[in-house]
Amino acid sequence: MTSFDTVAIVDWSGGNDTGPRPRRDAIWLGLTRLGQDQPPAYLRNRTAAETALANLIDTERSAGRRLLIGFDFPFAYPSGFAQALTGRADPLAVWDWLEAQITDTPRANNRFEVAGAINRALGQGRGPFWGNARPRHDIAGLPRTKSGYANPFPDRRAVERAAPGSFTCWQLAGAGAVGSQVLMGLPVLTRLRRRFAGHIAIWPFESLDAPVAFVEIWPSLIAGAVRRAEAEGGIRDAHQVRLLARALSRLPAPALRAMLQVDAPEEGWIMGLGHEDKLEQAAAAETGAATPLAPPPLRDDCFALPAGVDWTPVDDALALLRTRLHPVVAQTELPLSGALGRILSRDVTALRANPPQPNTAVDGYGFAHASLTTGDQVLPLVQGRAAAGLPFDGTVPPGHAIRVLTGAALPEGVDTVILQEDVTATDTHIAFRPGLKPGANTRRAGEDVTAGTPILSAGRRLTPADLALASATGHATLPVHERLRVAIISTGDELVEPGDPAGLGQIFDANRPMLLGLMQQFGFEVLDLGRVPDNRAALRAALDRGASGADVILTSGGASSGDEDHVSALLNEAGAMTEWRIAVKPGRPLALGLWSGTPVFGLPGNPVAALVCTLIFARPAMARLAGADWQTPQGFDLPAGFEKSKKPGRREYLRARMRDGRAEVFKSEGSGRISGLSWAEGLVELPDGAAHITPGTPVRFLPFGSFL
């Protein structure tokens, strides 16, 4: 298996923590997932990198995506070293050995000590390692320079002899040296390999039949693309990982296979060496829109029902839809102004704290609480003031106060604010009573949200307040799903378009305007495919148009198994339909199937049944297809304002509304009564079993709004 859904590239570092601000010569992670380039991530130290990599592997694994991770340091040493060090000519034995010896924290590590010890054991203290980045700290057995250096092993691997400009893994210090990266990188990879045992294959030592592959890469293979990107500004390491992830993910399959076909069981290899032109080409390939992120298709059997079940209870039908369906829409990134109502495609965390700095919650005067004395207070005022967006530059000395306005960042020397109404003020002094608590009337930095905390989770439909939260915490854009496109078809020889003359036996199409409106309320894009007579060729043509232009097709009418029920007949003929006989009233069988891979919901023709089936079944199913969480309408219990007996066997939905705290139902249950749909403001849900409702019996009321 040599195709990958996600490609990550890591630019490693052998040094210490590089601080909070993104900079070069640090660890960088580039990522292209399902063809979508993600912004490169800056990782300040190896601990952070190990966590980020473990999270990435977890995420991709649980989404069922195959993942390739490239690291820019050698996976093995020149031949003979593994045998001498571990007694086995197996590079992965060196991984384990190093993992056991190396200690590493963001501030300090023992790489030079370990190299010195190896030199003393295998090379009489003169090699194979050389170079020491610690100016005043000599290491026994580790030469600082190449004078007096002697290497008992080959200086280079075969792949390095074939890669002009590459460095040897023995050199531990100096510009461009990779030796430290190997010593400090392999232990991290070893731990990941153990943690995800059986799920990671190390190339080219293990066969690539695991869902995750680690490969060795070298950014110099796309030096041209990196140089062009760097000319536009930005950090080189970030460009390297971004472009290499892009290149590997856009490689045509045969080129990728050719690059992975390597026989180097002891020394390893740089993936892509000798194929630089292909990589450069792929790195330059267009991004984003040209390769929309294509989710996997639905399974052919996603609408199959368990054999032998006659009438499926509503909850079982919903549980089946819930497990079988998954998002079918692509992902994109939108500015906040275009994201309202869209479904978030990834979890989002705060990039910035809210509030970012401590500030005052009121108009008043600020001072240091610790500088107050006992009893009544009189404090001199410093010149100037702090207002929102206009911070005070200086420091407020102990025992002094400063004028502050709501939202102003607290100046140096201020931790407490008194309300202006609680002071007596002159131009130069304020006076107030004792009793104020430290920190009063201020907001702590991050008291709402701290940077890095999750704020919104994937599958959520974005509200106006979500946009406020995203903006406040530093997001200008959000990752969202493309809108689900829903095609609507009405079927029936009797239907005419509103406005057209209607003859004897003809009725105006009522379902289509209703369904188009509902889909808009759900936030979907609609494709109106009009009316189709009860004729298979016409219906086939309409379904074809739906399958090519939409993600879901909703039909109404013709869904049962009568002579004129062409929706079910056609889908049956195509071998792509299941008649879902659901124990629900109102509602005839639902025809669920795939037409050229596009899901079709064949709704009953009766407008009342069509609406109920849309809300109860199609709505949550379409939410899943659109990338949203499964949606259960939230209702509440109300005393019934009516009387009714129901038999066991079918769950029932009555057109209802709430008046004076009671649930009223429409005077008739006739399923052709469209006036009752319009009258209603929600549904009363009666349980599957028998029920006898009298006025005052609690019944479940589901407002129409809870389905949106």
The residues binding Mg ion (CB under 5 A) are 492, 557-558, 605
Nearer to ligand AMP by C-beta: 204 or 589? 589
604 binds, among Mg ion, ligand AMP, none (CB under 5 to 8 A by kind): ligand AMP
Distance CA 563, CA 415 (A): 80
331 binds, among Mg ion, ligand AMP, none (CB under 5 to 8 A by kind): none
602 binds, among ligand AMP, Mg ion, none (CB under 5 to 8 A by kind): none
Alpha carbons within 13 A on the beta-carbon side of 174: 14
Q: Which residue from 115, 90, 92 is spatially nearest to 102, judged by alpha carbons?
A: 115
Nearer to ligand AMP by C-beta: 438 or 498? 498
Q: How far is the CB of 495 from ligand AMP (least distance, A)?
A: 5
Nearer to ligand AMP by C-beta: 36 or 511? 511
Nearer to ligand AMP by C-beta: 237 or 509? 509
Nearer to ligand AMP by C-beta: 416 or 556? 556
Applying CB under 6 A, the span of 104-112, 281-289, 416-424, 489-497 interacting with ligand AMP comes to 489-497
Angle formed at CA 344 by CA 342 and CA 347, multiple of 5 degrees: 165
Q: How far is the CB of 501 from ligand AMP (least distance, A)?
A: 17
Nearer to ligand AMP by C-beta: 495 or 611? 495
Instruction: For strands 651-659 and 682-686, give the pairing.
Output: antiparallel
Q: Among residues 123, 127, 187, 558, which is the contact residue for ligand AMP, using CB under 6 A?
A: 558
Q: Among residues 490, 555, 598, 614, which is the contact residue for ligand AMP, using CB under 6 A?
A: 490
Neighbouring-strand partners of residue 419:
364
510 binds, among Mg ion, ligand AMP, none (CB under 5 to 8 A by kind): ligand AMP
Q: How far is the CB of 579 from Mg ion (least distance, A)?
A: 15
Q: Cis ω on the peptide bond leading into residue 40 (within 30° of 0)?
A: no
- Residue 689 has a CB neighbour count (10 Å cut-off) of 11
Q: Which two tokens stand for residue 80?
A: 């003979």
Q: Whose CB is nearest to ligand AMP? A: 605
486 binds, among Mg ion, ligand AMP, none (CB under 5 to 8 A by kind): none
Q: How far is the CB of 490 from ligand AMP (least distance, A)?
A: 4
Q: Which two tokens stand for residue 58?
A: 């977890």
Instruction: For strands 651-659 and 584-585, give the pairing.
Output: parallel
Nearer to ligand AMP by C-beta: 339 or 495? 495
Applying CB under 6 A, the span of 160-168, 488-496, 652-660, 691-699 interacting with ligand AMP comes to 488-496
- What's the Cα-to-Cα distance from 388 to each of 77, 237, 357, 358, 368, rounded to whole Å? 59, 38, 11, 12, 20
Distance CA 300, CA 571 (A): 13
Q: Which two tokens stand for residue 18?
A: 């590089």
Q: How far is the CB of 686 from ligand AMP (least distance, A)?
A: 23
Amino acid present at 192: L
Residues 291-320 contacting ligand AMP, CB under 6 A: none
The reply to whether 557 sits near ligand AMP by the rule CB under 6 A is: yes
Q: Which residue from 169, 176, 27 is spatially nearest to 104, judged by alpha carbons?
A: 27
Nearer to Mg ion by C-beta: 489 or 626? 489
Residues 495-514 contacting ligand AMP, CB under 6 A: 495, 507, 509-512
Q: Among residues 109, 332, 416, 556, which is the contact residue for ligand AMP, using CB under 6 A?
A: 556
Q: How far is the CB of 613 from ligand AMP (least distance, A)?
A: 11
Q: How far is the CB of 506 from Mg ion (least distance, A)?
A: 13
Q: How far is the CB of 555 from ligand AMP (least distance, A)?
A: 9
556 binds, among ligand AMP, Mg ion, none (CB under 5 to 8 A by kind): ligand AMP
Nearer to ligand AMP by C-beta: 450 or 668? 668
586's CB contacts (< 8 A; 6+ apart) are 604, 606, 608, 609, 612, 653, 669, 671
Q: Which helix (H) or strand (E) holds 68?
A: strand 67-71
Q: How far is the CB of 562 from ligand AMP (least distance, A)?
A: 6
Reading across the β-sheet that carries 485-491, which strands appear in turn? Answer: 525-532, 485-491, 552-556, 598-603, 590-595, 577-580
Q: How far is the CB of 326 from ligand AMP (least distance, A)?
A: 29
Q: How far is the CB of 494 from Mg ion (least distance, A)?
A: 7
Residues 596-615 contacting ligand AMP, CB under 6 A: 604-607
Nearer to Mg ion by C-beta: 492 or 682? 492
DSSP letter, residue 297: P
Nearer to Mg ion by C-beta: 411 or 558? 558
- What's the Cα-to-Cα distance from 601 to each of 294, 490, 553, 674, rounded to whole Å? 22, 12, 6, 21
The reply to whether 676 sits near ligand AMP by the rule CB under 6 A is: no
511 binds, among ligand AMP, Mg ion, none (CB under 5 to 8 A by kind): ligand AMP
Nearer to ligand AMP by C-beta: 154 or 676? 676
291 binds, among ligand AMP, Mg ion, none (CB under 5 to 8 A by kind): none
3-state secondary structure of 420: helix
361's CB contacts (< 8 A; 6+ apart) are 406, 417, 441, 442, 443
Nearer to ligand AMP by C-beta: 210 or 510? 510
Distance CA 365, CA 380 (A): 11
Q: Among residues 14, 411, 492, 599, which is the contact residue for ligand AMP, using CB under 6 A?
A: 492
Residues 512-541 contacting ligand AMP, CB under 6 A: 512
In 462-586 the beta strands, taken as DSSP E runs, fall at 477-481, 485-491, 495-496, 507-508, 525-532, 552-556, 577-580, 584-585
Nearer to ligand AMP by C-beta: 1 or 507? 507
Buried b (16+ CB within 10 A) or exposed e, 528-542: ebebbebeeeebbeb
Amino acid present at 654: L
Q: How far is the CB of 492 from Mg ion (least distance, A)?
A: 4
In 416-498 the beta strands, taken as DSSP E runs, fall at 416-419, 424-425, 429-432, 442-443, 454-456, 477-481, 485-491, 495-496
Size of the site for ligand AMP (CB under 6 A): 18
Q: How far is the CB of 296 from ligand AMP (least distance, A)?
A: 33
Distance CA 69, CA 91 (A): 18
Nearer to Mg ion by C-beta: 128 or 557? 557
What angle separates helix 179-195 from helix 46-62, to the nearest 10 degrees? 40
Enumerate binding residues for ligand AMP (CB under 6 A). 490, 492, 494-495, 507, 509-512, 556-560, 604-607
